[in-house]
């Protein structure tokens, strides 16, 4: 399976998923109006990856901004990660002064059954 | 230092490309006006939701050529940033919007959190109602009641005016 690499634009995030290491990273800003369209290849990749996932797969979410259209798709992403039966986690990054982003991570963690780790930058 | 000022005003057609440009312009203006990064982020987040709402709604009344244009404005005074949008909507949308606004404005911080999570989970089932989540998010980020009005244009449509205030941090 190939790695997934999508370059950041002014309103979409950088995406870098490496199936050989299990390091999955989404970073930057996620503000597309058509979030479902933008994330379609991301969800497709993850659905293929999940059954053969690496032990200790870690999804690093380093988002500066995300819109509500993206928040639904982020939940879809977590729902796929949740189905990985092996050890996995989400690492939720937030600016130490950004309470809204911290809270957003905590809320996602209350909805899905995945261990969340929090890191500030 | 100027205490009451307009940061950006745009009136006209709202396409996805224009929405993006307006957003980037507003962000640049905010960059050297507001030092507090948390406030800047809140204003930016609310702008995104407002602009994308306009973009979605104006599509629906596109046949109403006269009212194809919308307005978007950001201003600040000593205490608040104001983000104001105005666009035409079909009258048939008003009851459900009013119901949603009443619900949002009746809730406190904790209530809004519960509503947001509930809508986020349930929106997985139907793609409709995306705007609803946007309004709840705006209420949460701003920490203020939503201000809105509907001015009748004709028997089919009304002008929907929406204002969000975001408190500035007093130094």
- Write the pLDDT tens digit of every residue in A56-67: 999 999 999 999
Mean predicted lDDT score pLDDT of chain A: 96
Reply yes or no on whether the pLDDT at A49 is more than 60. yes
Helix (H, G, I), strand (E, B) or coil at A97: coil
* Beta-carbon separation of B133 and A31 below 8 A: no
Taking alpha carbons only, the member of A36, A9, A33 closest to residue B18 is A33
Q: Answer yes or no: do A111 and B121 touch at CB < 8 A.
A: yes
Domain count, chain B: 1
> Per-residue DSSP letters for B15-47?
-HHHHHHHHHHHHHHHHTT---HHHHHHHHHHH
Confidence of residue B33 (pLDDT cuts 50, 70, 90): confident
Closest Cα to residue B168, out of B18, B37, B53?
Answer: B37
Global ipTM: 0.92
Question: Average of pLDDT values for B48-71?
Answer: 73
pLDDT score for B31: 87
Average pLDDT over residues B77-81: 92
In which band, very low, low, confident or very high, does the pLDDT at B129 lie, cut at 50, 70 and 90? very low
- B127:A36 CB<8 A: yes
Residue B103 pLDDT > 80 = yes
Q: What is the pLDDT of residue A62?
A: 98
Domain span at residue B99 reads: 5-167
**Cβ–Cβ below 8 Å for B130 and A68:** yes
**CB distance A78 to A90 below 8 Å:** yes
| Whether residue A77 has pLDDT greater than 80 | yes
| Helix axes of A68-82 and A99-111: crossing angle, nearest 10 degrees | 40
Contact of A95 with chain B, judged by CB distance below 8 Å, is answered with yes
Six token digits for residue B64: 């109403």
Please give the CATH topology (third level) of the domain spanning A4-120. Transcription Regulator spoIIAA (3.30.750)
How much is the pLDDT for B151? Answer: 94
Backbone conformation region of residue B143, classed left if phi is above 0, alpha if psi is from -120 to 50, else beta: left
Contacts 24+ apart (CB under 8 A), B167-171: B167/B39, B167/B79, B167/B80, B167/B143, B168/B34, B168/B36, B168/B39, B168/B76, B168/B78, B168/B79, B168/B80, B168/B81, B169/B36, B169/B38, B169/B39, B170/B79
Region A23-29 average pLDDT: 97
State residue A92 phi and psi, 5-degree precision. -100, 115
Rounded to a whole number, what is the largest CA-CA distance in chain A?
39
Alpha-carbon gap, residue B95 to A12, rounded angstroms: 34
d(CA B64, CA B20): 24
B64, pLDDT greater than 80: no
Taking any CB pair shorter than 8 Å as contact, residues of chain B touching chain A are 16, 19-20, 23-24, 37-38, 41-42, 44-45, 48-49, 52, 55-56, 113, 116-117, 120-121, 123-124, 127, 130, 133-134, 137, 140-141
Average pLDDT of the residues in B2-13:
84
Average pLDDT, chain B: 86
Return all residues near A76 (Cβ < 8 A) that are at least 6 apart. A39, A43, B124
């Amino acid at each position: 399976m190939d790695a997934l690499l999508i370059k950041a634009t002014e309103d979409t995030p950088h995406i870098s998923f490496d199936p050989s290491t299990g390091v999955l990273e989404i970073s930057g800003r996620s503000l597309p109006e058509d979030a479902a369209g933008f994330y379609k290849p991301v969800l497709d990749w993850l659905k293929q990856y999940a059954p053969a996932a690496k032990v200790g797969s870690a999804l690093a979410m380093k988002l500066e901004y995300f819109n509500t259209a993206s928040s639904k798709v982020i939940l879809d992403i977590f729902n796929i990660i949740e189905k990985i039966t092996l050890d996995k986690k989400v690492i939720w990054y937030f600016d130490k002064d950004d309470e809204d982003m911290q809270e957003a991570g905590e809320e996602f963690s209350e909805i899905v059954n995945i261990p969340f780790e929090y890191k500030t930058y | 230092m100027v205490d009451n000022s307009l940061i950006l005003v745009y009136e006209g057609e709202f396409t996805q490309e224009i929405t993006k440009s307006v957003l980037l312009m507003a962000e640049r203006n905010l960059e050297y006006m507001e030092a507090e990064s948390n406030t800047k982020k809140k204003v930016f987040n609310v702008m995104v939701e407002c602009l994308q709402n306009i973009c979605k709604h104006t599509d629906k009344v596109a046949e109403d050529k006269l009212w194809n244009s919308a307005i978007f404005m950001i201003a600040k005074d000593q205490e608040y940033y104001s983000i104001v949008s105005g666009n035409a909507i079909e009258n048939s949308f008003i009851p459900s919007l009013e119901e949603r606004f009443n619900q949002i404005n009746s809730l406190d911080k904790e209530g809004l959190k519960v509503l947001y999570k509930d809508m986020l989970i349930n929106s997985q089932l139907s793609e409709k109602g995306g705007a609803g989540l946007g309004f709840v998010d705006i209420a949460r980020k701003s920490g203020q009641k939503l201000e809105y009005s509907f001015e009748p244009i004709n028997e089919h449509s009304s002008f929907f005016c929406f204002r969000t205030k975001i408190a500035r941090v007093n130094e």
